[in-house]
Structure 1
C-alpha cells in the first residue's frame, strides 16, 4: 500500500510539473526556449509573443515571424515583428532562445544557425528576455531588472505602443520611427514611415525622403495640423524637445483599454480602440483621410480614383498602355510597384517610318503629376509635344494656361478628379505611348465603328430595296398613306412615311435624338454621327461619290473628315423632298 501511494504521488507531481512547464510565461531564459505554438504572455495577459504566419484563406503563407500581438483581441492584430525582412521559411522550425553570447536570438532548430539576433553589447552572463505589461520585449539582467541591454520599443515596426517613443535620441543617434509593412502578409518594411525630425516636426514620409503629411507645431496639447488628436479621450499625449531628445509619446488613462496606433500598409497614420461590444476596431483618427492624398500610393504610371470603394474596387488603375507590374502585391494591398509599359517606346528608332513614331494619349480631368518641367520656348500644344518627342526620357506633356509642361521618366500621383470643370487643376495630360499601342486600340475601335457603319449601310440598303419592291409590285400604293388590304397584296399591311422621318435627323444635326434612351448616355455622339455620314456616303446615287474601303477606314479612325453627305434621291423623296413620289420616279432610279 505505501508503494502504491508513492507511485500515485509521483504521477501527480509529474502531472503538475507538466502543467507548470506548459503554462504561458513572460520570460525566455537560457534554460527555457520558445518554439512551435508556445508563446509568451505578459503578466497582465494583454500582450502575447510567439511565432506566427500572417495570412488568409486565399493566401497560404510559408513564412514565419516572431511577433507581438494583442492577446485578447480575436482579430489577429500584429504589433511588432523581430525578423520582418528575414522570415523563417518552411520547413525550417525556429526557436527563440538566449544564445551563448547572452543575446536573444532566433535559431534554426535543426542546424542551430542564427536567423535573427538582438546583437546587443552584453556585459553579464545572466540575461533573460521578458515581455512586459506594456508590450515591450526587453533583454535584461536576471539579477537587476533596471539593467536593460536591448528593448523592442527602440526598434518599432508599424505600431507605436503606449509608453514607447517615436523620435530621436540625439546623444546616441538612435532614430525611432514607425514604418509601414510591405503588404498585408509580408512583414518586411514598406515605403511609408511616420517620423519626428531633429527639429521636432512630425511627418509622414515616402521612401524616407518625400514628406506628404505634416503634423504641424506642438501647442502643448496636440500638433497644430492634427486637431483630431484631442478627440481620442483615452491617451495622454506628450512631446519632448530638448538638447538630448526630440520625441513624441502617449500613455493610457485606463491601462485595460486596448488602443492601436500606427501606420497602415497604405501609408496612413491611424489611432483606434477595440470595442468588446461590437468586437471590432473603432478608428478615431486617420490621416490622410483619402487614399489618393498619400504620395505615390498607386506607384508609377497609375491613376488614383477616390470615388471608388476600396473594399469593392481597387482605387488604383493602370494608365492606358500599361499593366500591373506585380499582380500578387496588388492582391495583398501593396500597389506601390505600380504599372509597366506593355510596349517599349520607339525613341531612337528610324525616324523615316511614321508608324514607329511615338504617339500621345490624352487623359482628361486629372490632377497632373509631380515634378513638372516648364518649357517656356514652346508656345503651342504642337510645339510642346515635339519638345517631348525629341527627348527620349520624356514620358508626358501638358499644355494649358500655364504654358508647356513636360515630365521625365516615371509618372507619380496622377489623380482622377471628380469634376474637372470645377477644378482649375483639371487639365489634359498627354501620355507618351508606342505607336503600336495606339494602333492596337484604334483597330479595336475601328472594328466597332466599321460594324456600326456596315450595319447602318445594310439597314438603309434593305430599306431602299423594300421600297423598290413595294413600288414595282403596286404602283397605286402611295407612301403618304397607309397601305390598304388588296387581293393581290403580298401581305404587307401598313407603311407610313412618318416612320422614315428620322432619316433627316442627320441633316438637321439631331443625331442624339435617335440614340436609344436605354444606353443612358453611354455613347459617343461624334462617332455615331461619323458612322452615319459614312453610311450615307456609301449609298450615294453616283458610284463616284461613294468612298473606297480605305477612305472608310480612315474616316472611322478620324484621320479623314467627311462633309455632310447629300441625301440620296430616294430618301430625299420619301422624307419630304421636292421630287414627286410616283412609280415612274422610282423606276428611273
Structure 2
C-alpha cells in the first residue's frame, strides 16, 4: 500500500486524508482500492488486503486487551480466523487530527497539539460575513491583514501570521466547533471557541451554516442547522439588540470577531462594535488587546476558563480572573480554591516584573507591553504587542498553567516563554488520590498505592485530572452496626506536601487518638500527626506533592486509610520485593566473595608444587608465618634485616629474610632461600 502526503478533501467530504486516519476510514467504507499502489494495476487480493488492514488497526488499539496475540495475527493472515471491523484508535485520532484553516472555523473536538496546517480551507476572499450570506463547512473568513481565520473545524486548529474563519473536519471527531486561529502558521492552534458547550455533531455538519439572523429580540450570529428541509435549530454565537436593520460579522486584524453595522465595514471603530468574541466573551485564551478584569459599572467579569480535556474544549476546571477585590488569581472551580494569586496592591508590581522578564528574553524583548488599569469604572489586566507580524497567545491549559507562547519562525514551533505557576504540580494536575512528582518525568502522576486510574483512556492520553479511585471500599462502622471497630488500616506516605484543606482535630493529643478519630469517621480518608497536631482529610485527597528533595524537601507523613485486604496485599507485595532485593544482594555478595577468593588463590603458589622448580617463587605472608612459626627461630642478621629458619609443608627447609625497614608491606618484605 502507498503512504500519501497529508491532504484535505473537498467540502463535500469531511475527513482528513492523513494516511492512518484515511486508511481506517476507507476500510470502514469498503474502499481499499484507493489505498493500493496504482502500480499494481488492480492486481491484488481484496480479501487479503482487508485482513491486513484489520490486523494493523487492531494491533494499535488504545486498550491493550483488545490487541490480538501473535498467534491470532498469524491465524487471521492465513485466513483461519475472522476479525471484526476495528474502531478508530482514540489516541491515533487525537495525535493525527488536523483542521483546514486558521481563523474562525468549525473544528472537531479531537485536539492535536502539533497538528498540520489549517490553511487548506476555502477562503471567501473577505473578512466580512454580511447579512444574507452564510459560511459553510469548508470555508473561512480571513482578516484583512491575513493573520487570522474563522471557520468550522475540529479541535485541531493552526496559527500563523493571519487569522481566518471557515470549516474543516477530522475522522471520528465527536463534535464540531466554531473557532478562531492564526492563518499561516503550520501548527493548528485554536484561540477562541464560539460554541464550546454545544458542538455540531458529525451528522449535522453538512447542514450547518454560520449566518446572521434576525428575531424579535434582535440580531444574532448563529450556526443554523437545517433538519428535514423544514425545521431548523440555531446555536447562538453572539447577539445584539441594536436597532440597525443591516448587520455584518467582521474578523478584525487582532483576530477579534465582531458584529457591526454593515455600513461601517471595513473600517468599523471600537464604538461601532455591537458584540465581540474574545474581547467580551473569552474562552481559554487571552489574546493581545483582550482584558481580564472586572467592570465596576456593569458588574461583568472577564475571565478565561481552561478546556475540560485534550479532546473536549468545553469549560474545564481552571480559570484566571480578577475578583471584585482586585486580586488576580488562578483557581480550581470544582473546589473554589486559589492555587496562585497576586494581591490587588501588587498588580502594578506584576507589570514591572513582566516587563523585566520580557526585556531579558530575546524572543520577547521590545515585543510585548503588559498593562494594568484600576479606575472607578473598571479594573483589568491586558497586554499588547509592538510588532503585529508576531504571533503570541496566552492560554490556560487543561493542567491549570497560564503560559505565554510565542511563535518561533526559525524553529517553526510554539515556545513557552513564561508559565505560572512554575511548579506544574500545584494546580491539582494529577487529580484526587494521586501523588505528583515534580521531576517533570513522563510519569509525574502516580496513583496512591492500591488505587487505580479512574479513566485509563484519559490517563493514556496524558490527562490525569480525573485522578484515581480505590480498588476496595473501606470498612465503615456505621454501615455495619454489629461491628465495634473498623478493620481498615493505615499506610504511611512520607516526605510529601500534605493535601489541600485539612480538618484539625483538637481533642486528639496523641497519634493513637488521631488514628482512632479517623477510623471512627466513615468519611475520613487519611490523617497526619505532627507535634501534637492532628489533621484529617475527608473526601478526595488533592495536591499531594513529592519533590525531588534537592531544591525543596518536605518532611510531612500522610497516613492513608486502606481496606485491610488491600493493605495485606500491599504488605505481601512489599515483603516479596524486599525478599527479592535481599536475595539478589546475597547472591551478589557470594559471587563477590568467590571472585575475591579466586583472586587470592592466583596470587599464591601451592607449596607441594615447588619441588624441582627453580628461580624465584612467590609466597604469601601467611604461608611464611606458618613455615617459620611466626618468625620464631632467628638464624642471624645482616644488611636490611634478619634471617629466620622455616620448614615448608613438604619438609623442605628454607631460610627467610625479613626486611625490617619494609615490615608494613608484609606481602613484599620477604625473600626465601631453600
TM-score normalised by L of structure 2: 0.60
Would you say the 8 A contact 1:97–1:105 is kept in 2?
yes
* 1:251 corresponds to which of 362, 377, 384: 384
* Residue equivalent to 1:103: 220
Q: Offset at 1:23? A: 3.9
Shift of the 453–290 alpha-carbon distance from structure 1 to 2, 3 Å rule, reads: closer
Residue aligned with 1:330, SS: helix
Query: Is 1:334 matched up with 2:334?
Result: no
The 5 Å alignment of 1:347-362 reads 347-348=476-477, 349-350=479-480, 357-362=487-492
* 2:139 corresponds to which of 38, 60, 82: 38
Shift of the 167–229 alpha-carbon distance from structure 1 to 2, 3 Å rule, reads: farther
Q: Offset at 1:135? A: 0.5
Shift of the 404–73 alpha-carbon distance from structure 1 to 2, 3 Å rule, reads: same
Would you say the 8 A contact 1:55–1:61 is kept in 2?
no
* Cα deviation digits, residues 144-202 of structure 1 (max 9, x gap): 43432211010001111111211122222221111111122211111111112233322
* d(CA) in 2 for partners of 1:286, 1:35: 37
Shift of the 421–277 alpha-carbon distance from structure 1 to 2, 3 Å rule, reads: closer
The 5 Å alignment of 1:517-528 reads none
Residue aligned with 1:203, SS: strand
Shift of the 292–450 alpha-carbon distance from structure 1 to 2, 3 Å rule, reads: closer
* Residue equivalent to 2:514: 384
Gaps spanning 5+ residues in structure 2: where?
A: 1-121, 158-168, 586-605, 609-674
* d(CA) in 2 for partners of 1:368, 1:436: 25
* Residue equivalent to 1:71: 183
Per mean C-alpha deviation after superposition, the further-off stretch among 48-57 and 317-326 is: 48-57
Q: Offset at 1:32? A: 1.6
Q: Offset at 1:403? A: 2.7
* 2:274 corresponds to which of 149, 152, 155: 149
* Cα deviation digits, residues 451-473 of structure 1 (max 9, x gap): 999999xxxxxxxxxxxxxxxxx
* 1:180 corresponds to which of 283, 288, 306: 306
Q: Offset at 1:30? A: 2.7
RMSD: 3.4
* d(CA) in 1 for partners of 2:437, 2:171: 27
Q: Offset at 1:434? A: 1.2
* d(CA) in 1 for partners of 2:582, 2:256: 72
* Residue equivalent to 1:132: 252
* Cα deviation digits, residues 504-530 of structure 1 (max 9, x gap): xxxxxxxxxxxxxxxxxxxxxxxxxxx
Query: Is 1:48 matched up with 2:165?
Result: no
Shift of the 404–113 alpha-carbon distance from structure 1 to 2, 3 Å rule, reads: same
Shift of the 22–258 alpha-carbon distance from structure 1 to 2, 3 Å rule, reads: closer
Per mean C-alpha deviation after superposition, the further-off stretch among 39-48 and 182-191 is: 182-191
Shift of the 229–177 alpha-carbon distance from structure 1 to 2, 3 Å rule, reads: farther
* 1:164 corresponds to which of 279, 287, 290: 290
* Cα deviation digits, residues 404-455 of structure 1 (max 9, x gap): 22111211110113239973x4122110111121133344456667899999
Shift of the 258–395 alpha-carbon distance from structure 1 to 2, 3 Å rule, reads: same
* d(CA) in 1 for partners of 2:572, 2:260: 71
Residue aligned with 1:114, SS: strand
Would you say the 8 A contact 1:218–1:224 is kept in 2?
no
Shift of the 38–168 alpha-carbon distance from structure 1 to 2, 3 Å rule, reads: same
Per mean C-alpha deviation after superposition, the further-off stretch among 113-122 and 218-227 is: 218-227
Q: How many residues align?
A: 438
* d(CA) in 1 for partners of 2:491, 2:550: 18
Residue aligned with 1:92, SS: helix
Shift of the 52–342 alpha-carbon distance from structure 1 to 2, 3 Å rule, reads: same
Would you say the 8 A contact 1:351–1:357 is kept in 2?
no
The 5 Å alignment of 1:476-555 reads none
Shift of the 343–120 alpha-carbon distance from structure 1 to 2, 3 Å rule, reads: farther
The 5 Å alignment of 1:305-324 reads 305-309=437-441, 313-324=442-453
* 1:293 corresponds to which of 426, 447, 458: 426
Would you say the 8 A contact 1:61–1:185 is kept in 2?
no
Would you say the 8 A contact 1:103–1:122 is kept in 2?
no
Shift of the 179–230 alpha-carbon distance from structure 1 to 2, 3 Å rule, reads: farther
More strand by share: 2
Residue aligned with 2:565, SS: helix
TM-score normalised by L of structure 1: 0.68
* 2:193 corresponds to which of 53, 78, 81: 81
Shift of the 48–32 alpha-carbon distance from structure 1 to 2, 3 Å rule, reads: same
* Cα deviation digits, residues 76-97 of structure 1 (max 9, x gap): 1110000111111212112111
Gaps spanning 5+ residues in structure 1: where?
A: 1-20, 457-481, 485-589
Q: Offset at 1:399? A: 1.7
Shift of the 455–42 alpha-carbon distance from structure 1 to 2, 3 Å rule, reads: closer
Residue aligned with 2:466, SS: coil
* Residue equivalent to 2:594: none
* Residue equivalent to 1:463: none
Would you say the 8 A contact 2:330–2:340 is kept in 1?
yes
Would you say the 8 A contact 2:182–2:189 is kept in 1?
yes
* d(CA) in 1 for partners of 2:501, 2:125: 55
Q: Offset at 1:73? A: 1.0
Residue aligned with 2:203, SS: coil
Residue aligned with 2:132, SS: coil
* Cα deviation digits, residues 484-513 of structure 1 (max 9, x gap): 9xxxxxxxxxxxxxxxxxxxxxxxxxxxxx
Residue aligned with 2:309, SS: coil
Would you say the 8 A contact 1:265–1:333 is kept in 2?
no
* d(CA) in 1 for partners of 2:319, 2:551: 35
* d(CA) in 1 for partners of 2:384, 2:410: 24
Residue aligned with 1:76, SS: coil
Residue aligned with 2:439, SS: coil
* Residue equivalent to 2:371: 238
* 1:429 corresponds to which of 550, 558, 572: 558
* d(CA) in 1 for partners of 2:581, 2:384: 69
* Residue equivalent to 1:283: 416
